[in-house]
Amino acid sequence: MRAQNGPLVYRNWLAMDEGQPCVSLAEYPLFTDAHITGQISQGPYVFINTVPDWQKAVVKPAVVLRTSEHLEIPRSRHDKDRLGVVPRRFLR
């Protein structure tokens, strides 16, 4: 049996493994000047390759981190707007 305490990202992963429904989605652009190939999905976290037009020494949003949240975390409306969290009503 796994411990239910730990960092939020770990508890969110456990909630997904336990079958808790997705309550929101969020996407975060990750900037880099590295040439990215492929993409990966691990639990409730997906690294999406945006396939930018790669140019050496030019920083662009090359990867988007998409998180599916399976925990109800109290947040203010301001935080949800600022973080770009998709409200539950759009997930149906």
Q: Give the pLDDT confidence of 33-75 residue by residue, as tens digits.
A: 788 888 899 999 999 998 877 777 777 788 999 999 998 776 6
| R_g of the chain, CA atoms, integer Å | 15
Q: Give the pLDDT confidence of 71-90 residue by residue, as tens digits.
A: 877 665 555 555 555 555 54
Contact 45, 65 (CB under 8 A): yes
